[in-house]
Structure 1
Amino acid sequence: MREVKDQHIVVIGAARSGIAAALLLHKKGADIFVSDYGTISEDAKKKLESAGIPFEENGHTDKAKQGDFAVVSPGVPTEAPIVQYYLNEGKEVFSEIEVAGWFTDQNIIAVTGSNGKTTVANWLDHVWKTAKRKHALAGNIGVAFSDEIDRNKGDFLLEVSSFQLDHIKDFKPAVSLILNITPDHLNRYQHSLEAYAAAKFRITENQTGDDRFIFNYDDPIIQKHVEQLKQKQSAPQLWAFSNKREVPEGAFVRDNQIIFKFNNKEESLMSVEEIGLRGKHNLSNGLATALAARAAEIKNEAIRESLKSFTGVEHRLELAREVDGVKYINDSKATNVNAVWFALDSFHVPVTLILGGRDKGNDYSELEAQIREKVHTIIAIGESKDRIEKQLGKVAPNFVRVETMGGAVRAAKKVAKRGEVVLLSPACASFDMFDSYEHRGKIFKEEVNKL
């Protein structure tokens, strides 16, 4: 618990988590000022005004520099001049998850990774509901951790991003998970995969021998960090998951059965066929979910039932509609190349692929083999059209450039045949044309429903 009463705290960034942190700190007696480089939404302004919290928008004035410390929204880069000002002055800068963590001693189960973290966070929510365990689902997923602090009397299930982990100090999950690490957001990490991986690994920073770290045994970047973690004096207990080989402790697959292995004893959980979600990546996600539930002492029956009955999340390989025998799939959540690779890996029919948005330093050529095998038409949208064309223009038989999501859907309808798939899996951020990946997926579905 950190005492914040009467401290003057500046919150930088007035999106969802910034507003939630401001309201929570205000409630705990702090003197708050909110500053945003851009415009603040009307809804956010109403919340601040009704709490009596002063704010500014469309730029940071000297008022934004006067905090005892700053709380930064995940959308604000560490390189932003206002954040650098605090750091150069020797003042602390914290993320919203760090701040929220000061005001609870309930168990935190926190999941991160380049891909699959939203699926796993929702899957955990499904397990906890099945087991009738009190909990709140929050974090990088639609509800800020700070919003749930005074409401939730059970476990906290958090999806956390590298940006949120950049500015933690004491944040300590009882159970942490890293699903995978592949190039993503490198524009925020000096184009260094190592720096990005180190940010993800901060999830384990404050864990001790009483805590558990669940990790992907098949990921070489994670394995390297695990070896370093083993050198720590107070390392968390290490539980691994793999769909390729046996693990020393954790969950793996043998003869199509999911096996738990703890203290050199094995127990069979269920058959791989019984898992509700398709694809190898979802087998990994299911193993990770099962281990986190086991770490929280949820019974195998509830874990089994949840792995069978979970049907996935919106904007992640979601069937939008079938038109004239063509399935239109909304995978707007696929904001990096690796996520698109997994999406393509899930299909065994010809695909029309809608790609593009705001580029994050992607190497689209990593998709070449999958595209040559499955994709007959690439439809490029957004700011990254030129870069996609340069890297993939000759890889598929057809390459089409369009200006709008409606144009992409209509172009796809012209080329897709019965039994095929039209896949929106952009590999890019959405902010060039949309408010969020959810907004992008919603517009895609609206356009498909007009066909």
Structure 2
Amino acid sequence: PGVPRESRYLAAAVKAKRELQNDASLFFRFAQNPTIAVTGTRGKTTTTHWIAQLLSKKYGPIVPTGNNPDNPFLTELRLLERSRDTKRPVVVEVSSWQSEYMARALRAPCIAVITNLFPDHLNRYGGSMEEYARAKAEIFRLQDKDDTLVLNADSTWTQFFLKQKPKARMFFFSKKPLAKNREGVFLRGAHLVFRTNGKEQKICSVKKFTKDFGEHNLENVMAGVAALFAFDQKMKFSERSLLQLKGVHMRQEIIFKKRGLTVVNDSTATSPDGTIAAIERFKNDHPLLITGGTDKDLEMRELARVIKQHILPARLILLNGSATKLLVADLLRKKYFKKTKPQLFGTLIECVEAATFIAKGKGTIIFSPGSASFEKFKNEFDRGEQFNKLVKNSFTKI
């Protein structure tokens, strides 16, 4: 799916009247199992993993597939074919690049979830948010009345998706009470509530969950619970079961914690919104931020505003790259640095060394690039693994 849409090789294949498919379209064409598919800009990986974890309690071990380097689509397809168990649910994460070809599968997921939509990958979509949204909408285009589409009632882009006239049953999730004519999961006070067919069911308190996992993860868990109720309304949830959910690798993952110092690996934050979420979560923990990377035609102004609000200039470490230059320009316009100069480094090892010296064993070091990785790394996972190794070498003696 990472092949550019304007690739001359794809153009040659089309000219030769060859059929084009990607891993997602092949998976949905041949997989016979009931499938819950999750897409969106932020939170899709966490939501996917949490749906799988909660389903596993009732249906046995489920490993998410799709946009997952440990279990990609075609690997999962082979496992399903060998098991011959067509009743076990499958949970998949779908990127916008993968969803572009999903309609070619001629089959749709029985449950589709769109967590939210923010600017991302605009270099692939000609700078157009609408084109990016259309790619996401492919996840539900072939759904019918027996399927369910789960949308974020608090997202400004939900109206766009509704204008595409989805044929599936609609569930929504929201941090506010839903409109009376809408079904789904919402927050009332400190409790999750599920509404369907005009009846409401109090699920559990999420007060401690929100405190421990952060406000943004409340949306992720609501999306997951809505999808699970759409799949099986006999599913049971409790505050304890939600607090037992495990975080996702390299997504605000705490990889080191000792004697007043915490280190967070958020390498999969490939857009400014991801880094903003990380800052908001750890803003009261004396944060030191390592950020920067490759540009994807995304605005950095809001990230610059949040950095100015919560990160001291002396505790901002910048990994040089095309996106970093844009961020620095926005910070300069906001007079963020004042009399200091940006702490700009060419390699990740230099960033970690500087962070180690500045932190002096206290506070929270957040590695959240807020941009792509391709100028210096294979991908965001390679970037994150390199960070983990550097942290292990730097902090194990503390």
How many pairs were matched up? Answer: 374
- Taking the TM superposition and a 5 Å limit, the aligned residue runs for 1:217-366 are 217-226=153-162, 228-230=163-165, 235-247=167-179, 248-275=182-209, 278-297=213-232, 299-302=234-237, 306-322=241-257, 325-347=260-282, 348-366=284-302
Secondary structure at the aligned position of 1:151 is classed as helix
Residue 194 of structure 1 corresponds to which residue in structure 2? Answer: 130
* CA RMSD across the alignment: 2.0
Larger Rg computed on CA atoms: 1
1:126 alignment partner, one of 53, 56, 62:
53
Q: Does the aligned pair in 1 maintain the 2:204–2:237 contact within 8 Å?
A: no
- Taking the TM superposition and a 5 Å limit, the aligned residue runs for 1:116-195 are 116-133=43-60, 135-142=62-69, 143-152=71-80, 153=85, 154-168=88-102, 169=104, 170-195=106-131
Q: Report the TM-score, using the length of structure 1 for normalisation.
A: 0.78
Q: In structure 1, how many angstroms separate the alpha carbons of the residues matched to 2:32 and 2:160?
A: 31
Q: Does the aligned pair in 2 maintain the 1:317–1:343 contact within 8 Å?
A: yes
**Structure 1 stretch displaced more, 130-139 or 247-256:** 130-139
How big is the shift at 1:134? Answer: 6.1
How big is the shift at 1:238? Answer: 0.7
Q: Report the TM-score, using the length of structure 2 for normalisation.
A: 0.88
Judged with a 3 Å threshold, the aligned counterparts in structure 2 of structure 1 residues 324 and 282 are, in CA distance, closer, same or farther, namely same
Secondary structure at the aligned position of 1:275 is classed as helix
Q: Does the aligned pair in 2 maintain the 1:116–1:285 contact within 8 Å?
A: yes
| More contact order relative to length (CA 8 Å, sep ≥ 6) | 2
Q: In structure 2, how many angstroms separate the alpha carbons of the residues matched to 1:120 and 1:429?
A: 21
Q: In structure 2, how many angstroms separate the alpha carbons of the residues matched to 1:78 and 1:216?
A: 28
Q: In structure 2, how many angstroms separate the alpha carbons of the residues matched to 1:363 and 1:296?
A: 37
- Taking the TM superposition and a 5 Å limit, the aligned residue runs for 1:70-85 are 74-85=1-12
**Structure 1 stretch displaced more, 418-427 or 237-246:** 418-427
Residue 357 of structure 2 corresponds to which residue in structure 1? Answer: 414
2:25 alignment partner, one of 76, 98, 101:
98
1:441 alignment partner, one of 366, 379, 384:
384
**Structure 1 stretch displaced more, 250-259 or 370-379:** 370-379
How big is the shift at 1:304? Answer: 5.5
Judged with a 3 Å threshold, the aligned counterparts in structure 2 of structure 1 residues 413 and 445 are, in CA distance, closer, same or farther, namely same
How big is the shift at 1:419? Answer: 4.8
Q: Does the aligned pair in 1 maintain the 2:184–2:226 contact within 8 Å?
A: yes
Secondary structure at the aligned position of 2:351 is classed as helix
Secondary structure at the aligned position of 1:187 is classed as coil
Runs of 4+ in 1 over 6 A off after TM superposition: none
Judged with a 3 Å threshold, the aligned counterparts in structure 2 of structure 1 residues 409 and 134 are, in CA distance, closer, same or farther, namely closer
Q: Does the aligned pair in 1 maintain the 2:41–2:117 contact within 8 Å?
A: yes
Q: In structure 1, how many angstroms separate the alpha carbons of the residues matched to 2:98 and 2:285?
A: 38
Q: In structure 2, how many angstroms separate the alpha carbons of the residues matched to 1:148 and 1:217?
A: 32
Judged with a 3 Å threshold, the aligned counterparts in structure 2 of structure 1 residues 303 and 256 are, in CA distance, closer, same or farther, namely closer
Identity of aligned residues (%): 31
Structure 1 unaligned spans of 5+: 1-73
Q: In structure 1, how many angstroms separate the alpha carbons of the residues matched to 2:381 and 2:298?
A: 21
Q: Does the aligned pair in 2 maintain the 1:212–1:295 contact within 8 Å?
A: yes
How big is the shift at 1:417? Answer: 5.6
Q: In structure 2, how many angstroms separate the alpha carbons of the residues matched to 1:437 and 1:383?
A: 14
How big is the shift at 1:302? Answer: 4.9
How big is the shift at 1:269? Answer: 0.4
Q: Does the aligned pair in 2 maintain the 1:375–1:396 contact within 8 Å?
A: no
Q: In structure 1, how many angstroms separate the alpha carbons of the residues matched to 2:183 and 2:18?
A: 42
1:402 paired to 2:345: yes
How big is the shift at 1:291? Answer: 1.1
Q: In structure 1, how many angstroms separate the alpha carbons of the residues matched to 2:370 and 2:183?
A: 34
**Structure 1 stretch displaced more, 127-136 or 346-355:** 127-136
Secondary structure at the aligned position of 1:450 is classed as helix
- Taking the TM superposition and a 5 Å limit, the aligned residue runs for 1:199-218 are 199-218=135-154
**Structure 1 stretch displaced more, 97-106 or 292-301:** 292-301
